[in-house]
Structure 1
Amino acid sequence: MSGTCVHFDCSAGAGGDMLLAALLDAGCPLEPVRAAVRACGVTEAEIGVTETLRAGLRGLLLDVEVRGRPRHRPLPECLAAIAGAGLPARVEAWATTTLRRLGECEARLHGIPVERVELHELGAVDTLVDVVGVCTALHHLGATTVLCSPLPAASGSVATEHGVLPLPAPATLALLAEARAPLRPGIPGVEQVTPTAAALLTSIARFATPAMRLRSVGHGAGSRDDPRRPNLVRCWVGDADEGDLAAPAGFDDACVELRTNLDDAAPAVVADLAERVLAAGALDAWVVAATMKKGRPGHVLHALVPPAAAAAVAALLLVEGPTLGVRCTDAPRMVAERDVRPFASPLGEVRVKRKLVGGRVVDARPELDDCRRLAAATGRPLHQVIDTVSAAARAELLP
């Protein structure tokens, strides 16, 4: 056994309140959640749960009663409240990353600086309750692995404070696209995944099927009751089964490798072609120096692409480059899983990329942009920041 695994079955959809209610139903007490939310300065909200039925199945429904008029909070105020709340480091990092990603997404969509984000979806009390509550509940349950099922998505529209918006909601779709989340057909015209849930799941969870030994199951109810299907998130809590998780991977990711010789191209043209093939759908591109006919120096441009994109990328090379031919070879891959997790390093918060093989974390490396930010903030050399943060991340995240 290797730690506690929490899996969210979101086949019917997910809202932040549903995720929190499911965790509470799976065994997390309510008081630690209330205390964490109060510590973040949200004192006007009273949090409770009630049992309800959804299409004949029981679940917990989260009740958030706000005393007085709810106050909108801009993103910097939300982040400062979390930073000053004295939360466990992992809870603070999870909640900060989730809110920051949600705020940055809203800022891009509305074309405003992130510091000015003050939308209902972000500033309302229920968003802070959901985000801080879910992170606290996961920590209280001792979650070392958080997984999630594919999410439902369908077209349609929904009425919001900002007018009628398409479904999935723009923020939801942007967050899911950023995480390359797996989607399944949903119910047309129904918002099944909210922006808050999308931010939480893509920041904290990994989209994978669990290998675990169950201890408990919780059901979190949404506000909508559809008699045709239970509007519930199911939360599975158990012991991660290391024996099952460690099953060896295979060469099951079908790819092809395209190669073309460039013996009469300026370095700027070669670099531009590499960028263009990546933009056209290549998974990777690299250039190798080579000696061409008559001893001339040249380059071989390689591109690893999905089979469906091979013809388009090859055509681009022929049209945009000086080459007269492109070679193609089958190149199936064995791929390690990867996810990005928030991490409270000794120098400050960073995002850390974890590499997983057979469900086991085998490496952890900080994002370079975050290390550059810390280097500028602390006045330390970049290489020293990378070494310090990497060592701390591996010490905490690797088994």
Structure 2
Amino acid sequence: MRVLYYDCFSGISGDMNLGALLDVGVEEAYLRQELSKLSLDSAFELVIQKASKMGISGTKVTVKLTPQWHVSPHHHEHRTFKSIEAIINNSTLSPSIKERSLKMFWMVALAEGKIHGKEPQNVGFHEVGAVDSIVDIVGAAICLEALHVKKIMASKIELGGGFVQCAHGTLPVPAPATLEILHNVPVTLGRVPFETTTPTGAAIIKANVDMYEKMPSLTIEKIGYGIGHKEFDIPNVLRVFLGEVEEKVAFSEEVVLETNIDDMSPEILSYVQEKLFEAGAKDVYTTAITTKKNRLGVKLSVLVGQEKEAEAMEIIFAETSSIGLRRSLVQKVMLEREMQRVLTPYGEISVKCVFAHEKMLKYKAEYEECKQAALNHNVPILKIYESVTVAMKERQDDSKI
């Protein structure tokens, strides 16, 4: 299985990430071509050059604002997440690049919104900073899609220490937004008395990394170094590895919560199921049973990760008549899956594809999108499913050529 590993011993920023991904093999011309689809060419110049830091050679990326942009009377305006979303969605970038880009920007907006007490959609990004962020984040999405990796992994993220000057004054490192974004991500602190991970770098990691661990066992094909702009006592570089790992069946330990209920309306249980799914439950289902005194009832079963267990318990106790739960640890086996989109005569449809040993075993079209397409085109929903099957077969046949 092809993987990308981030070694963030000196943190990560948007420009270091672009440098590392270019250094590991993404074509500079391809990155420039894709970024041009944003129609922001007049706002910035992308400077890419070979550089070194403390004897380590790599690629250094600088996003320079054009002189016209600096002197523009509007350069102090703020762009909101909504306006940045419109720039990305109105571009001719691929749907997968748009989706990956917006996921990263949304994480920054969520963090900034929580810190400043604003709705994420209305968070203001300073105009100059917004251009940097758009290039860094969309560039990250372009490069990650170009590498075609099945999994992205990372070490602990070094955040640095000390204080940093920003638009809101002098703040401690890590910056509040960086900390908020990296909630539940393993980090290290204080390796140097400077900021090593920026909010943009944090969003790139949080939105794209599948798992965090020390250097995994892999066959390394390429190594890339993204050269930073700061001077530390350690090399200010981001190191990435591109390689292959042996694909194994994935086991994860989950929790099953169960309770028997024989004195509630099924309608209320339906509401409870929805709340549990919204809270992050992996599966929620009921089984018809007979309880004491031969009463008809149901067994409510909830499969949930241990990090969401307390929240699931709280919902069950608050929303049902249950006064006790059974709890058991289970091992869940999951095949690798990814979402793909195929073009049909009725529009693009998302398809969940399931793999084992990098071979597709099965796929299933997303019901809600098929339903909407059937309603929009006034055709039987079976025709939508059939068109997905034809599109998937054509894609598989093309891949064999």
Q: Structure 1 residues 278, 173: CA separation in 2 closer, same or farther (over 3 Å shift)?
A: farther
Structure 1 CA distance, aligned partners of 2:66 and 2:145? 28
Secondary structure of 2:302's counterpart equals strand
- Residue deviations 1:332-375 (CA, integer Å, cap 9, x gap): 33244566x68575577787766555666655667777x39975
**Cα drift, residue 67 of structure 1:** 1.8
Question: How much has 1:22 moved relative to structure 2?
Answer: 0.7
Partner letter of residue 287 of structure 1? T
Show the counterpart of 2:204: 200
CA contact (8 A) 1:7 1:237 kept: yes
| Offset from partner CA, 1:51-106 (integer Å, 9 cap, x none) | 44445433322122222234465545544544555445654554455445655665
Residues 269 and 190 of structure 1, relative CA distance in 2, 3 Å threshold: farther
> In 2 relative to 1, CA 285–221 (structure 1 residues): closer, same or farther, beyond 3 Å?
same
**345-354 or 208-217, which deviates more:** 345-354
Aligned to 2:296: 297
Residue equivalent to 1:7: 5
Quote the Cα distance in structure 1 between the aligned partners of 2:392 and 2:4: 21
**Cα–Cα, structure 1 residues 294 and 81, in superposed 2: closer, same or farther, change >3 Å?**
closer
Instruction: Name whichever of 104-113 and 274-283 sits farther off.
Output: 274-283
Residue in 2 aligned with 1:259?
258
Deviation of the 1:146 alpha carbon: 4.8
Q: CA deviation at 1:222?
A: 2.3
Q: Following TM superposition, by how much is the alpha carbon of 1:217 offset from its aligned partner in structure 2, in angstroms?
A: 1.2
Amino acid at match of 2:157: P
Alignment of 1:244-255 (within 5 A): 244-245=246-247, 247-249=248-250, 252-255=251-254
- The structure 2 residue matched to 1:111, chosen from 105, 111, 118, is 118
Correspondence for 2:38: 40
Partner Cα separation in structure 2 for residue 276 and residue 81 of structure 1:
34
Which shifted more, 314-323 or 326-335?
314-323
TM-aligned CA deviation for residue 233 of structure 1: 1.6
Q: Do the aligned partners of 2:222 and 2:242 also contact (CA within 8 Å) in 1?
A: yes
Q: CA RMSD in A?
A: 4.8
Q: For residues 359-374 of structure 1, what are the structure 2 equivalents within 5 Å? A: 362=361, 371=369
Secondary structure in 2 matching 1:132: helix
Deviations 1:123-162 (A, max 9, x none): 632222223333333455x524351314426697644324
Q: CA 1:331 to 1:96, structure 2 compared with 1: closer, same or farther past 3 Å?
A: closer
Selected match of 1:124 from 130, 149, 161: 130
Deviation at 1:120, TM superposition (A): 2.6
- CA 29–192 in structure 1, closer or farther in 2 if over 3 Å, else same: same
What amino acid does structure 2 have at the position aligned with 1:219?
A: Y
What residue identity is the alignment partner of 1:120? H
Cα distance between partner residues in 1 of 2:313 and 2:96: 46
In structure 2, do the counterparts of structure 1 residues 311 and 39 end up closer, same or farther at CA, with 3 Å as the change threshold?
closer
User: 1:237 corresponds to which residue?
Assistant: 242
The corresponding residue for 2:15 is 17
User: Where do 5+ consecutive residues of structure 2 fail to align?
Assistant: none
SS at match of 1:226: coil
Other-structure match for 2:188: 185
Structure 2 CA distance for aligned equivalents of residues 14 and 29 of structure 1: 21
Deviation sequence 1:190-229 (CA, Å, 0-9, x none): 54433333433444453367775433211002223321x3
2:46 maps to a residue whose letter is I
Post-superposition shift, 1:182? 4.1
1:62: which partner in 2? 61
Contact 1:361/1:397 (<8 A) preserved: no
Q: Which deviates further from its counterpart, 30-39 or 154-163?
A: 154-163
SS in 2 for 1:259: strand
Distance across 2 between alignment mates of 1:154 and 1:27: 27
Aligned-partner Cα distance in 2 for 1:131–1:315: 37
Q: TM-score, normalised by structure 1?
A: 0.71
The answer as to whether partners of 2:112 and 2:120 remain within 8 angstroms in 1 is no
Q: Which amino acid is the alignment partner of residue 248 of structure 1?
A: V
1:6-53 Cα deviation digits (max 9, x unpaired): 433334322111111012222334333233333422223222234444
Structure 2 residue 157 is matched with structure 1 residue 152: yes
Contact 2:46 2:61 in 1 (8 A): yes
% identical aligned pairs? 26
Letter in 2 for 1:10: C
Distance in 1 between the 2:46 and 2:395 partners? 33
- Out of 143, 148, 165, the position equivalent to 2:148 is 143
Q: 2:371 and 2:107 mapped to 1: Cα distance?
A: 17
Per-residue deviation, residues 212-265 of structure 1 (Å, max 9, x unmatched): 5433211002223321x3332212234x45xx12x334xx53345343322233
Structure 1: 5+ residue stretches without partners: none
Answer yes or no: is the 8 Å Cα contact 2:254–2:306 preserved in 1. yes
CA distance in structure 2 between the partners assigned to 1:79 and 1:214 by the alignment: 36
Q: Is the 8 A contact 2:342 2:388 kept in 1?
A: no
> How far apart in 2 are the matches of 1:86 and 1:220?
28
Determine the C-alpha separation between the residues in 1 that align with 2:46 and 2:380.
44
Matches within 5 A, 1:326-365: 326-337=325-336, 343=341, 355=354, 357=356, 362=361
Aligned mate of 2:226, from 212, 220, 224: 220
- Which stretch shows the higher mean deviation, 97-106 or 282-291? 97-106
Indicate the SS of the match to 1:124.
helix
Instruction: Between 291-300 and 281-290, report the one with greater CA deviation.
Output: 281-290
